Structure 1
Amino acid sequence: MNCKGTLIDLTTPKVMGILNITPDSFYDGGRNDSEQAIIDKVKQMLDEGATFIDIGAYSSKPNAEFVSEAEEIGRIIPVIDLLIKVFPEIIISVDTFRSEVAKAAIEHGAAIINDIAAGGLDNKMMETVAKYNVPYIMMHMRGNPKTMQSLTQYDDIIKDMLYYFSEKVNCARSLGINDIIIDPGFGFAKTTEQNFEVMNKLELFQMLELPILSGISRKSMIYKTLGTTPQESLNGTTVLNTISLLKGAKILRVHDVKEAVEAIKLCNAVYS
């Protein structure tokens, strides 16, 4: 991956730390509500071994509150500016499905666009990513955060997802996007059972010959299965992160960086 001239080798999996700057995210909403809290959180994640920091200013949890484009930009740009000032070498990913937010973020120093809709909610997104020549994370989702949980009917979920990604990748390639990462979208337009089916067959997505990002950190597929809460889901997250690694994931997107880095180190020790 070429991130603003820095080449990231994904031969060894990497960790993407989550920085939510929304008041309503399912796990850490409202925690990062001051400059110092943001700096402290990002410093901790970088010190623990995060390669990327993924900033989100619009919660994508089911039935999330609507945020205007102007408000999303107003939330995210000051944070990008702050982090680049404090951590000049930081590699920032921006979690957005809007091309104007992506454009503003890249112009202020973001290096990656992480799009939950793979261009499906903004037909200018891929053109924008291609224009600025940044890596593009495309996720599998149907509908939008308000409707996705009603769109879980599949003939064969793995085949449907592979077809979805094939179309999206072809479109991205035709526009000249070089670095593409695929995200199966655990929790997005999928039942709990479907999430586990996708995890069970995650290695099949390697046929796309692209890096796979696994984002299961503290999600409901863990805490509903265990009968706990997001706050009690770190151990379950580590278990599924480990399974993801064994099935070929190259990026773990997580709230808890230290434990994800440890999972990578131990998997590498086994296979080296």
Structure 2
Amino acid sequence: MGRVTDRRPVVRIDNGKTSRRPDTLSVEEPLEIRVDGSPLAVTMRTPGDDVDLAHGFLLTEGIITSGADVAGAKHCMDTNLNVLEVSLRAGVPAPVTDPTRHFYMSSSCGTCGKASIDAVRIASVYPVEKDQLTVTPETLSSLPDRLRERQKAFDRTGGLHAAGLFTASGELLCVREDVGRHNAVDKVLGWALRSGHVPLTSHILMVSGRASFELTQKAALAGIPLLAAVSAPSTLAVDLANELGLTLVGFLRGTSMNVYSRADRIAGGEE
């Protein structure tokens, strides 16, 4: 496993005084994901939990639907730790590379470079609109602090996003950090897939930043009925959540929150 953080020299200016010192930064490195020997994607990520990342990526790209679809995953030791080889189980269709979809992902935007919204839409096999999840506002309000308490690398760098998977009662099951929002989510979903928890019926996905179209789609593809974010959602995220019947919560801070879709799953949420 590569380093999550590294040190770099910095010139510090504070109240007119200048000093030199080392600063702790988040590591960002490329990871090439290969499927059965063929390159599929390159993502800029924080090293660590790469196998989970690959599983989550394949799940949320519609290439696999269960952990059993993967026969094995390992780093290519004859090259470097930034190449991960995934072998699909016999009978699982190989991914088809669409020329309108460019499987290069920056750390800031998982859908950058894709030609159109139609090109990135993936049909979910799990009907999240039928999920009977109910959760209290008090439980939701407790999630940001619980997630923040587990952001160890963020404490050292201030530069990593986090995603956390919770039960309806607020139990924290898994936290992953990464320089990219979409990578942090894929790492969480990959862990859940490998642990046999997908579909994630009656679970909550909490993210430390904003809620984008892509993160909303990733939640639905894993069968998660509620996505909560500390910051704002985008218009496409709200539209997709309403279309799929997924509960989308934004600006979850303290005891306040905005519920943009399916407020009926939150006690007292329906006017």
TM over 0.5: no
Compute the TM-score of the two structures, normalised by the length of structure 2: 0.34
Compute the TM-score of the two structures, normalised by the length of structure 1: 0.34
**Which structure ranks higher in relative contact order (CA pairs < 8 Å, sequence separation ≥ 6)?**
1
Larger radius of gyration: 2
Which of the two has greater strand per residue?
A: 2
Which of the two has greater helix per residue?
A: 1
